[in-house]
């Protein structure tokens, strides 16, 4: 009888330990909002160097080509060279802001990408400023609202965050409702 009780007790303790591992544990803020996680190193070094060389030649021909700078910044982001990407994005913004008739949607996208890098560098206010500028340029830019919503939330500015979430829901309801459920109903996916 004693052996049976010990086995039963051991199994019960093991079961409780297993269940305890399933309880969601709150994560720190940077782990919850990591927008650069989508940019993972891609291709081989040769492909990177070949693409980088093509962009460099294009910029030698026309250093004021905002689109080439933006494309090269995306390449840098894809291989984790965030400082170089931020430099290119900043240069692209300067050029595009001066150019008459530059596509405001594209410029908004450049601002959003620079905001992603700045958030990753823990420059929260600068990132929020970039997201805000993207929204000014293109009020239909749901990504600006999306990232500013999360940034405000993790800064503790819940009222501003909720305003952005509601506006984002109008623009892209599927993305915002899915993210809201995943992040705030106990399930956190990275």
pLDDT (tens digit, 9 = 90+) per residue, 136-157? 999 999 999 989 988 998 888 9
What pLDDT, on a 0 to 100 scale, did the predictor assign at position 85? Answer: 92
What pLDDT, on a 0 to 100 scale, did the predictor assign at position 135? Answer: 96
Mean pLDDT, the chain, rounded, equals 77
| Tokens linked to 146 | 């999306």
- Apex CA 123: angle with CA 161 and CA 26, to 5°? 55
Mean pLDDT of 87-97: 95
What pLDDT, on a 0 to 100 scale, did the predictor assign at position 41? Answer: 55
State how far the alpha carbon of 17 is from the alpha carbons of 10, 12, 13, 20, 92, in Å. 11, 9, 6, 5, 54
- Apex CA 169: angle with CA 168 and CA 170, to 5°? 90
What pLDDT, on a 0 to 100 scale, did the predictor assign at position 9? Answer: 55
Please, are residues 167 and 143 in contact by the beta-carbon 8 Å criterion?
Answer: no
Q: Report whether pLDDT(37) > 50.
A: yes
Q: Report whether pLDDT(15) > 90.
A: no
Mean pLDDT of 4-23: 51
Mean pLDDT of 87-93: 95
Mean pLDDT of 105-110: 94
């Amino acid at each position: 009888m004693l052996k049976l009780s010990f086995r039963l007790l051991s199994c019960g303790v093991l079961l409780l330990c297993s269940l305890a591992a399933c309880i969601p544990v709150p994560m720190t803020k940077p782990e919850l909002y990591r927008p650069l996680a989508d940019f993972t190193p891609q291709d081989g070094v040769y492909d990177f160097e070949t693409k980088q060389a093509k962009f460099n030649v294009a910029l030698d021909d026309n250093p004021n080509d905002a689109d080439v700078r933006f494309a090269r910044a995306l390449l840098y982001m894809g291989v984790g060279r965030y400082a170089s990407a931020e430099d290119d994005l900043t240069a692209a913004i300067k050029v595009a802001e001066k150019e008459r008739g530059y596509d405001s949607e594209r410029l908004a996208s450049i601002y959003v990408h620079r905001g992603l890098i700045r958030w990753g560098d823990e420059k929260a206010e600068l990132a929020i400023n970039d997201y805000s500028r993207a929204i000014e340029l293109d009020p239909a830019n749901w990504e600006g609202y999306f990232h500013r919503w999360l940034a405000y939330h993790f800064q503790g500015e819940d009222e501003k965050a909720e305003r952005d979430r509601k506006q984002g829901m109008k623009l892209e309801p599927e993305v915002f409702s899915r993210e809201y459920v995943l992040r705030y109903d106990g399930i956190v996916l990275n």
